[in-house]
Amino acid sequence: MSPDAKRPRRFKPDRDVKEWKGAYVPYDFLKEAFVAFLAVGVLTVLLAVVFSSPDEPAVTLKSWSIANPVDFAQTAITELDGTSAVATYGPPYNATPNSSQHIGFFEPNQWFGVHQPINTAQDFVIQPLRTLPSQPILQAALNRYQSASTTQQTSWTTAYEKAVANANDVHGRLHVPLGPYGPVGIIISAETAMAQTGGLDGTLLSEGQFYNTNYTKPLLFIADGTYLSNLAGAQHLQGSQWGMMNETGNYPGQAWLWLYTMWYQVPPMNSSSNGDLEVWAIMMVLTLGLILLPFIPGLRSIPRWTRVYRLIWRRHYRSLT
Amino acid sequence: MSVDTGSHTDEPGAEESRQWTARARRAAESAFPPDRLLPDRQPAYMASWIYVFGVLTVVSLAWVIITGCVLAIMGPSWWHVSTAGHFVNSLHLWSVEAFFSFMVIHLWGKFFMAAWRGNRRLTWATGVISFAVSVGAAFTGYLSQQNFDSQWISTQAKDGINATGAGAVWNVLNFGQMLMWHIVLLPIAVVIIAGLHVLLVRRHGIVPPFADDERKSKETVAPPAEEPA
């Protein structure tokens, strides 16, 4: 310890206290804790009995493709041609250049690189369809697509994207107008049919072993469509609806995230392509500031300036007069 | 009959006094004498409703842990298929809401009391860190629900997590990983940090009110190495 640390220092009211030399009163801490424990228990039981808790069923590739096969097919073609949000996401899913969020040179997502590699054409479409037995027409279509040049593939998928934009849902079945899309029509129709049977859910979840708990692939596929986000919008869960602190139904959600989600509502974060990183940076600075508040002149004086403490200790101050 | 006449005495020898165990015991006894660890008297200025919220936060955490343990005993899918399980899940949800409500009021109360005064800065810091870690624990709970809410929150949150680079090792779309964080790692962290926070409160006691004449005070105080009363 330095000699300076031994030296008495000037009293600062926002840092130091005067030793309490007033009265002490009996205080049964354990009794208070026990009563509080019972009170919170009763309160929790009452809230649980009266309000229960939400449990909105999960969306599956099956339920999505049955409820909205057009949206499913429109999403599946973007997975096949590599134009979906996940296909162009960048790290940690793939190495798409200039895709990571950054603040100046600070680009941590790029530094860490690809850790959950996903090739949407292969992982979401081609490989699952290759697992289907006894489908010679489908396998021939896949062979034709995979052996074609990139230019030819792009021509087919572009033509299909135009056609599927005008597709119809006829009693749960996908009807796409005819067009020069080669084998792609067979591939996406088979993908939609596989999803409607529930087979695609299991195939995307499979990691080559019996037990699986990693839902990265099916969740990314589902999130690429508009079906999930439309359901979320109806529940007021979208980012623009302060959805981060909301919950399905009328239940309170993570209200403690109000400040975090607030930054997404204000410029420039609400329209910035680096908004997530910018909000993270702001929240980290604010959290660090809150931890270090006792060391920050000015900020640590706010309690004394606002004098809210006189309301908190009003009995004490009343006893002084 | 033989008599033990060895040189055993009650005075610790040099060897014993250097033991890690002996040193830890002496430090604990010095920092937490029984009447400080579990006091039965408090300064009279404690007569304020705001002090209730600290203990309410702690007991709410106890209910969160108890209801979470019941859910853990029966497994992650139980509450979706059982009325009793759904009720326990409801208890877990509402105890979490109570926990955060009480903790936020406690935090604001301590802010307006400038409760870091008198060498209590570490007490303040552990309280804020405890809040931040609790937010993470609750977040992974929402990811572990296995319903629409989990799907939406995880697919949205991945962008924020990935932007920081943490997505390389912390995959919010991996249910198994998030469940482990929710029921093992983060609860342990919350309990340790909150426990440290409570011990620091007991060590330093509750912060005294501002004195009316403090703004004009020319007094000096002891250096921070010396503990306040």
Q: Answer whether A18 sits within 8 Å of B116, measured CB to CB.
A: no
Residues of B in contact with A24 (CB under 8 A): 41-44
Angstroms from A162 CA to nearest CA on chain B: 28
Whether the predicted pLDDT of A244 surpasses 70: yes
Confidence band of B18 (pLDDT split at 50, 70, 90): confident
Q: Please write the tens of the pLDDT for every residue from A132-174.
A: 998 999 999 999 999 999 999 999 999 999 999 999 998 888 9
Which of A215, A237, A238, A302 to mutate against chain B (most B CBs within 10 Å)? A215
B221 or A282, which is more confident? A282
Q: What is the pLDDT of residue B122?
A: 97
Estimate to the nearest angstrom the gap between the alpha carbon of A103 and the chain centroid: 21
Partner A contacted by B47 (CB < 8 A): yes
From residue B145, alpha-carbon distances to A50, B140, B149, B155 in Å are 21, 9, 7, 14
**B104, B113, B149 member nearest A309 (Cβ):** B113
CA torsion, ordered A191, A195, A197, A199, to nearest 10 deg: 90
Q: What is the pLDDT of residue B10?
A: 60
Q: Please, which residues have CB within 8 angstroms of residue A193's CB and are 6 or more apart in sequence?
A: none
Domain boundaries of chain B, sorted by first residue: 49-207
**Whether B134 contacts B188, CB under 8 Å:** no
Percent of chain A with pLDDT over 90: 81
Single out the residue of B176, B157, B24 nearest to residue A207, CA to CA: B176
Taking each continuous run of H as one helix and of E as one strand, the counts in chain A are 18, 4
Beta strands A168-170 and B220-221, pairing class:
unpaired
Compute the average pLDDT of residues A176-185.
95
Which of B100, B120, B162 to mutate against chain A (most A CBs within 10 Å)? B162
**B147, B151, B171 member nearest A116 (Cβ):** B171
Length of chain B: 229
Confidence band of B228 (pLDDT split at 50, 70, 90): very low
Q: What is the pLDDT of residue B221?
A: 62
Confidence band of A250 (pLDDT split at 50, 70, 90): confident
Partner A contacted by B36 (CB < 8 A): no
Whether the predicted pLDDT of B80 surpasses 60: yes
Please state, as a whole number, how many other Cβ atoms lie within 10 Å of the Cβ of residue A132: 17
List phi, psi (to 5°) of A113: 80, -165
d(CA A208, CA A211): 9
Q: What is the pLDDT of residue A172?
A: 81
Please state, as a whole number, how many other Cβ atoms lie within 10 Å of the Cβ of residue B2: 4
Confidence band of B214 (pLDDT split at 50, 70, 90): low
Question: Which residues of B, range 144-173, sit inside 8 Å of A by Cβ?
Answer: 145-152, 154-156, 159-160, 162-165, 167-169, 171, 173
d(CA A14, CA B217): 12
Q: Both tokens of residue A133?
A: 């037995």
ipTM over 0.90: yes
Q: Answer whether B112 sits within 8 Å of A312, measured CB to CB.
A: yes
Residues of B in contact with A112 (CB under 8 A): 165, 167-169
Q: Please write the tens of the pLDDT for every residue from A15-48.
A: 999 889 999 999 999 999 999 999 999 999 999 9
Triad B144, B147, B149: Cα angle to 5°: 85
In chain A the beta strands, taken as DSSP E runs, fall at 9-10, 24-26, 168-170, 173-175
Which of A254, A295, A301 to mutate against chain B (most B CBs within 10 Å)? A254
d(CA A155, CA A149): 10
Q: Is B171 left (phi over 0), alpha (psi -120 to 50) or beta?
A: beta
Q: What is the pLDDT of residue B11?
A: 64
Q: Comparing A67-76, A251-260, B66-75, which segment has the lowest mean pLDDT?
A: A251-260
pTM, two decimal places: 0.90
From residue A222, alpha-carbon distances to A213, A242, B136 in Å are 17, 22, 25
Q: What is the pLDDT of residue B225?
A: 46
d(CA B92, CA B100): 12
Q: Please, which residues have CB within 8 angstroms of residue B166's CB and are 6 or more apart in sequence?
A: none
Single out the residue of A278, A303, A307 nearest to residue A293, CA to CA: A303
Give the CB-side neighbour count of residue B216, counting CA atoms within 13 A. 2
Confidence band of B8 (pLDDT split at 50, 70, 90): low
Architecture (CATH level 2) of domain B49-207: Up-down Bundle (1.20)
d(CA B208, CA A17): 7
Partner B contacted by A305 (CB < 8 A): no
Whether the predicted pLDDT of B220 surpasses 70: no
In A48-165 the beta strands, taken as DSSP E runs, fall at none
Percent of chain B with pLDDT over 70: 86
d(CA A195, CA A174): 12
Q: Please write the tens of the pLDDT for every residue from A181-190.
A: 999 999 999 9
Residues of A in contact with B150 (CB under 8 A): 58
Q: Is A82 left (phi over 0), alpha (psi -120 to 50) or beta?
A: left
Q: What is the pLDDT of residue B229?
A: 35
Q: What is the pLDDT of residue B226?
A: 42
Q: What is the pLDDT of residue A1?
A: 46
Partner B contacted by A274 (CB < 8 A): yes
Triad A301, B42, B106: Cα angle to 5°: 45
**A40, A228, A279 member nearest B152 (Cβ):** A228
Q: Please write the tens of the pLDDT for every residue from A281-299.
A: 999 999 999 999 999 999 9
Q: Comparing A125-129, A236-240, A313-317, which segment has the lowest mean pLDDT?
A: A236-240
The SS3 of residue A9 is strand
Confidence band of A241 (pLDDT split at 50, 70, 90): confident
Signed CA dihedral, A154, A156, A161, A162: sign only: positive
d(CA A74, CA A162): 10
Confidence band of A249 (pLDDT split at 50, 70, 90): confident
**Whether A84 contacts A120, CB under 8 Å:** yes
Percent of chain A with pLDDT over 70: 98
Compute the average pLDDT of residues B100-127.
97
